[in-house]
Amino acid sequence: MFSFDPYSPAVDADPFPFYKTLRDEHPCFWSPEADMWVLSRYTDIVTALNDWQTYSSASGNLMTELPNRAGSTLGTSDPPRHDRLRGLVQHAFLRRNLEALAEPMRAIAREAVGEIKDAKEFDFIGDFSSKFTVRVLFAALGLPLGDEQTVRDKAVLMVQSDPKTRAKGPEHIAAYNWMREYAAGVIAERRKNPQNDLISHFSMAEIDGDRLDEMEVLLTTTTLIMAGIESLGGFMSMFALNMADFPEARRQLAANPELIADAVEESLRFNTSAQRFRRRLQKDVTLHGQTMKAGDFVCLAYGSGNRDERQFANPDVYDITRKPKGHLGFGGGVHACLGSAIARIAIKIAFEEFFKVIPEFHRVEADLPWMPSSTFRSPLRLVLARG
């Protein structure tokens, strides 16, 4: 009897065989362990993403939601409230407005890779990507230096869930509460002394006299910090993993950094860190012979849609020449990732600098310690050795 439990370590480690069975045999699957439906085919996921009236985000979008978060962030609200929030913060995230960050990002990447240039072996995450992402985020958001390590640790903890209780544990909720307090402090400081940075801008942003309310500013800032550190870092570690596992691709990229952008898109398709998000049905929907009821939660398994052979030929092959348009690596529909432009720029710069110093490397551990998370997938540690 087939089961799909997004809380199981087996799914954390390798969800792809489960996804294949889901797509082929149970395209509209009820998971008692997750207490929700699972949609796994590309077309079904895209249809759901483009129908927010039916598939609502207002009851939360993380598979295991944090307390009192739903409704006050971009990812957990529906239009028209969502569009209003997004309109207020989007400006800072447009590609044309991010160019000023490119040089600071490059300096951060150089510094971070410089710290491991003589190491024979290093943890890509602890020794490089977490330093890079936290420093980039601090630069982008104008956060005061000094707390970087703690902020990073809390951001990573708050996206996890307890595999035994299938819920957020006290340590995850404590991390989330810590982050809210931290964000509240930064917002208060920026309101008192506005700077030319994102938090200053959007905590006071106004469109036609409309401002974000306190909870929206607070929880949106909290989410931006979480996404900026954890999501960017998680994806960078998946990209590094692919570069270790596919040496041919890595050598092409090291020789021709122009190809990094295509490899990033293929990695977003092949094994994006944003594996599963959820929605809640606003009306009954019948799909593949199953009737899902209004009020039911639905998991949209982006990672599965990205491997759907109905959409992508030879989906289990990592092919940097594929140029996979329409992949779900950043989600889709109105909630497609706000940070996609900054993430693409940051990853490209990070790896341009990384390959200059460390063009040849391989994985040390065959089995990786995977983060326990029902939503995201990335390793907790990725030890790489030179050569």
Partner 1 sequence: MSKVTFIEPSGTAVDIEVADGWSLMQAATSNGVDGMEAECSGSCACATCHCYVESHEELLTAPAENELAMLDNVAAERRPNSRLACQIKMSDALDGIVVRLPATQV
Separation between Cα atoms, residue 231 and residue 75, nearest integer Å: 14
Q: What is the DSSP letter of 118?
A: T
Cβ(348)–Cβ(99) below 8 Å: no
The candidate with the shortest Cα–Cα distance to 128, out of 354, 368, 349, 366, is 354
Contact set for partner 1, span 50-79 (CB under 8 A) = 50, 79
Of positions 341, 357, 368, 385, contacts partner 1 by CB under 8 A: 341
Task: List the end-to-end C-alpha distance of the chain, in Å, as a whole number.
Answer: 45
Closest to partner 1 by CB, 323 vs 362, is 323
Site for partner 1 in 245-304 (CB under 8 A): none
- Under the binding rule (CB under 8 A), the answer on residue 340 touching partner 1 is yes
From the CB of 87, what's the least distance to partner 1, in Å?
4
Shorter beta-carbon distance to partner 1: residue 152 or 322: 322
Count other C-beta atoms under 10 Å from residue 26's C-beta: 16
Residue 192 interacts with partner 1 (CB under 8 A)?
no
Nearest to partner 1 of 95, 310 (CB atom) = 95
Stretch that binds partner 1, among 103-111, 141-149, 188-196, 335-343 (CB under 8 A): 335-343
Whole-number minimum distance, CB 265 to partner 1, in Å?
11
* Part in contact with partner 1 (CB under 8 A); list of ranges 86-94, 288-296, 299-307, 358-366: 86-94
Please choose, out of 1-9, 84-92, 143-151, 273-281, the segment that lies near partner 1 by the rule CB under 8 A.
Answer: 84-92
Distance CA 282, CA 55 (A): 6
Please give the structure tokens belonging to residue 109. Answer: 């990447």
CA distances from 191 to 195, 202, 216, 313, 344 (A): 9, 10, 15, 51, 30
Q: How many CB atoms lie within 10 A of CB 212?
A: 22
Cα–Cα distance for residue pair 374/371, rounded to 1 Å: 9
90 binds partner 1 (CB under 8 A): yes
SS3 331: strand
Contact call for residue 81 and partner 1 (CB under 8 A): no
List the one residue out of 299, 306, 303, 304 whose CA is nearest residue 281: 299
CA distance 162 to 169: 6
In the bound complex, what is the minimum distance in angstroms from residue 341's beta carbon to partner 1?
Answer: 6
Query: Per-residue x/- mask for partner 1, residues 294 to 333, rule CB under 8 A?
Result: ------------------------------xxx-----xx
* Footprint of partner 1 on 91-130 (CB under 8 A): 91, 93-96
Q: Which residues bind partner 1 (CB under 8 A)?
A: 46, 50, 79, 82-83, 86-87, 90-91, 93-96, 324-326, 332-336, 340-341
